[in-house]
A and B are shown apart, each in its own frame.
Chain A
Amino acid sequence: MALNDLTRAWRPHPVRPPASGMSRRRGLWERVHLDPWLFGMLLLLMAAGLVVLYSASGQRIETVMAQGIRFGVALGVMVVIAQFSPATLLRWALPAYLVGVMLLVAVELVGDMGMGARRWLTIPGVIRFQPSEMMKLAMPLMVAAYLSRRELPPRLKDLLACAVIIGVPVVLIAKQPDLGTSLLVAAAAVFVVLLAGLSWRVIGVLAALAAAALPLLWMNLHDYQRQRVLTFLDPNSDPLGSGWNIIQSTTAIGSGGVFGKGWLEGTQSQLEFLPERHTDFIVAVLGEEFGLVGMLAFLLLYLMIVSRGLWLAAEAQDTFGRLVAGSIILTFFIYVFVNVGMVSGILPVVGVPLPLVSYGGTSSVTLMAGFGILMAINAHRRLLPR
């Protein structure tokens, strides 16, 4: 059980006795079940994110402090989760998934409204959270747990089962309505299925079906969601309304040039033209103040994190671990791609933050919990029989 794993985590490792100084240091990382490379890159990203946030928040040190505290909590969550063994995660996949679905139903029934959507669940005086965030992790765990017990690549019967597993929470989240999160949750599950070896023929058929279903999706979109897509196709159709953000964010990025206008010097950013410049549109600040050089540095850092994550996934020793790790790291990349793509004007506006840079608590914790799972899968592999 979970507690057992935790206690075991701090016991001296029986397999690898420390021999040299180098291996002792490696031994320390193994003992805490963390991957030093990934851990270091995440810390670097967080630190850089806080620097950008200071500028984007209008130089409010309170905002930076609040975000720093959230990062601290998120790191703690990551370290704790990293102590669980993959076997435990496998056992908890189904319960976590079921609880998540029940909470989503609860949100539908008794959730709090906020900004025109019903996303929050409040236990008065205790906690207030979005069950859809929990689903971002429970979903890949559940699908991977299911598929890892079947023969792979998955057969049609299994795919249908997966469709049900994926469909229920995704529809519930989409109904809140929170299209961005529902797509991210769906993506996390689809990555598992794809990595599990879904045949190319089925992929082709599904892609064709999805294309055919687009008009249907369009019919079911809310007005503001449709407006976002239309705006994306032609930002100048509504330059003062929903097109405003994109026009201004591209202006900010473009005027940054190669080297940027300098930290705290972005005229577009500092003149408060963007409503969400410290959350979803923080890339505009980054691009304006640090220029192409800064943008490339950030993208490279993300690329290295994703590469390291994929490497760890490939190194995992059982199918469940591989599928979960691969899905988590690819979903992480989707965040980056969708956010930067949106702010730079090549994707429609979807409410997706830039991971570990945008201001916001829940998403940071979820992301770091995901990295915790990734590290757990990696660091515990030697406990399994080879």
Chain B
Amino acid sequence: MRNPRHNLKSPEQELRIFRVRALLAAVIVFALTGLLMGRLAYLQVVQHEVFTTRSEKNRVRVEPLPPTRGLIYDRNGVLLAENRPTYNLTLVRERVEDLDATLTRLVEILELPEEEAAAFRVRSRQRQRPFQPALLMSDLDEGQIARLAVNRHLLPGVEVEAQLLRYYPDAEVMAHALGYVGRINAEELGRLDPGRYAGTHFIGKSGVERFYEEALHGQAGLRKVETNARGRVLRELGRNDPVPGKDLTLTLDKEMQALAYELLDGRRGSIVAIAPRTGEILAMVSAPGFDSNQFVTGIDVASYRGLQEDLDLPLYNRAIRGHYPPGSTIKPFLALAGLAEGVITPGETIYDPGYFQLPNDSRRYRNWLRWGHGRVDLERSIAVSNNTYYYNLAHELGIDRLHTNMTAFGFGTRVGHDVFGESAALMPSRDWKRERYNQPWYPGETLSVGIGQGYWQVTPLQLATATAVLANRGDWVRPRLARRLGEEEVPVALPDTPEDIRLENEAWWDRVFSGMEKVISGNEGTARRTGVGLEYRMGGKSGTAQVFSLGQDQKYNAEELAERLRDHALFMAFAPLEDPQIAVAVIVENAGGGSTHAAHLARAMTDAWLLEEEEPDVEELREAMEEDDGSVAGN
């Protein structure tokens, strides 16, 4: 163009060069734009038909992939909740050439009675969106699935669809502790993260299934599928795998659980067993149970009403929601409170004439033994379950100190770590009464509380927990149901564990334990029959909870009352005395005196846990209890 060797800066020449280059650039811009336009015209005019067809045919849909719910095992790895694949037979009518022939062939292959073909025909005619599968039959067995697979080529349009359903192998025994899953309802749908629950139809409704819902559920995945214009999946284009829920290993021992349920023998009641050192709940039974599998598939109205209207309240989880007056089972705790507060000393005795009287009050608060136990010290007061001793103790303590000391054992609080729906029951206090009844606290009410009656109510879980804390000499562990979640162990020390109970004198624990041992092994013990042949040292305490109050000085015979008005039998125990491995609380509703019925059950539980031998003979035990029932020893 020009001489490149020139030395002067020439604006005119620069302008000229620029304009030439800019013009060239404009030409190139126009050419490239033309190229784009040509390409677009090619796509949108020449190839239009091809792409229209492709666009019509191909659609992309995102389908949720629900995660597999975590399995639940007992402490020994026994499966308690599994996911059962169920297979459903479906049929897409549009893809079937000859419906009658196909249905006839299906009935043959499935080895069903011929009249089923008619039912199939009805179901296949159900109104459906085009190409949506109609359900012909659910829960196919393995043989049927295999035969269908072999004959698949003869059955265009027939498909077997898999769906995972929760299944509880020991539903009745485990129902209350495990809880169950059920269909997600409208309220739950409102609060759930739709992404997490995409494609999931079930959610934990109660128990462990509810408490560990988040971990058990996992995270939904997605898959991108190409479908034809009618919504039929042609192929999978990509997927984002779901994160399966974590498996849960419980502290429960299935054998202990089953034994406890068997021991209750259909009676209304509850048994809770805890390993005191770790707080692990070994058994937590509420009887009667129910078949929780019914709730998974969706219970029918009649069955549900049946369960709800059952007088035995099978749906009611007595272990954590049942409110029972603790009766005499709390005497060891009150004894400790008296020692801690300096109200009593271990060697000090009182004289029991058979009743206690408040100063300036003529009302007599009766011992259960009408003529009295005479001289009673701390150990004997527990062994014979003397009431007068505890009337006196409670009176000296007063309700405020009594409330504080009992709350320290967990009474009136929710003690469980991962127990869904637990009740705090009631540990009465001055403040509570003012708030509830707008009345002052009367001294007489303290006396009732002193023998575990009156307003005081406990849950079986609370009683078992307090027993475990007692067995630990005051060291607190929160009872828990989960041992391991996925790979993660649940630690023994949990946050917000209540403060340990410390006594000035460690020997006081031994005195109380000694009294509790005499309940079972002493010759005056209220549960001495239960102690026969005991192979280890065991401490316990019986209790009777009155279903309703009886008038003063009115003697009654439990057998005269309707069965449902009989006293509840309670027993709490731990063993072995020197190194506690198990703490148990037993409540049998309307069973009469605790020392007979409930104590046998408690011992059966400790035997099963501590002794290597085969399962205790429940039949033999029952016979022993029948014999005892005639001769009630005390409360």
Contacts and interface: CB of A to CB of B under 8 A. Distances in A.
B238 A330 contact: no
A310 to B, nearest CB: 5
B25 A319 contact: no
B55 interface: yes
Given A153-B17, A319-B14, A299 B37 contact: yes
A276 to B, nearest CB: 14
B71 interface: no
B55 A292 contact: no
Contacts of A345: 39, 43
Interface stretch (A8-16, A108-116, A194-202): A194-202
Given A255-B51, A257-B48, A272-B62, A313 B33 contact: no
Interface string B1-27: 110101111110111011101100110
Given A314-B18, A337-B32, A253 B51 contact: yes
Contacts of A155: 4
Given A199-B4, A287-B44, A344-B43, A303 B14 contact: no
A265 to B, nearest CB: 12
A344 B45 contact: no
Given A195-B22, A251-B55, A346 B60 contact: no
A150 B55 CA distance: 57
Interface in B28-68: 29-30, 32-33, 35-37, 39-41, 43-45, 47-48, 50-52, 54-56, 58-62
A344 B33 contact: no
25 contacts: A151-B6, A194-B25, A195-B21, A195-B25, A248-B60, A251-B51, A251-B55, A253-B51, A254-B50, A255-B51, A255-B55, A255-B56, A257-B52, A271-B60, A296-B40, A310-B29, A314-B18, A322-B14, A322-B22, A333-B32, A337-B33, A340-B36, A340-B40, A344-B40, A346-B39
B490 to A, nearest CB: 36
B189 interface: no
B558 interface: no
Contacts of A152: 9, 13-14, 17
B605 to A, nearest CB: 59
B493 interface: no
A151 B9 contact: yes
Which of B11, B29, B48 is packed against the most chain A CB atoms within 10 Å? B29
B138 to A, nearest CB: 32
A323 interface: yes
A360 interface: no
A322 B45 contact: no
Interface string A274-305: 00000000000001000110011001001100
Interface of B: 1-2, 4, 6-11, 13-15, 17-19, 21-22, 25-26, 29-30, 32-33, 35-37, 39-41, 43-45, 47-48, 50-52, 54-56, 58-62, 237-238
A273 interface: yes
Contacts of B9: 150-152
A258 interface: yes
- Most chain B CB inside 10 Å of its own CB: which residue of A194, A196, A322: A322
A239 to B, nearest CB: 9
Given A155-B4, A254-B52, A323 B44 contact: no
Q: Which size class do A's interface residues fall under?
A: 35 or more
Given A195-B25, A199-B4, A240-B238, A257 B45 contact: yes
Interface string A241-268: 0001000101111111110000000011
A324 to B, nearest CB: 12
Contacts of B7: 151
Contacts of A306: 26, 29
A253 B55 contact: no
B55 A268 contact: yes
A152 to B, nearest CB: 5
Nearest to A327: B25
A250 B43 CA distance: 7
A367 to B, nearest CB: 17
A227 interface: no
A273 B37 CA distance: 25
Nearest 3 CB-CB pairings of A with B: A254-B51, A255-B55, A197-B17
Nearest to B41: A292
Given A250-B43, A344-B40, A330 B25 contact: yes
Contact of B237 (A240, A299, A302): A240
Nearest to A261: B55
A292 B45 contact: yes
A57 B570 CA distance: 67
A253 B237 CA distance: 21
Contact of B22 (A273, A296, A303, A326): A326
Contact of B55 (A195, A252, A323): A252
A115 B512 CA distance: 68
Nearest to B48: A257
A254 B14 contact: no
A225 interface: no
A273 B60 contact: yes
Contact of B59 (A267, A310, A313, A319): A267
A252 B52 CA distance: 8
A358 B32 CA distance: 21
Contacts of B35: 346
- Which of B36, B39, B56 has most chain A Cβ within 10 Å? B36
B101 to A, nearest CB: 37
Nearest to A152: B14
Given A299-B37, A310-B22, A322 B43 contact: no
Contacts of B50: 254
Nearest to B5: A155
Contact of B39 (A310, A319, A344): A344
B36 A254 contact: no
A378 to B, nearest CB: 14
Given A271-B59, A310-B25, A326 B52 contact: no
Contacts of B51: 250-255
Given A152-B9, A314-B22, 16 more contacts: A196-B14, A240-B237, A251-B54, A251-B58, A254-B52, A254-B54, A255-B48, A257-B44, A258-B48, A267-B55, A272-B60, A295-B40, A295-B44, A303-B30, A344-B40, A344-B43
Interface string A310-341: 10011000110011001000100100010011
Contacts of A251: 51, 54-55, 58
A273 B62 CA distance: 9
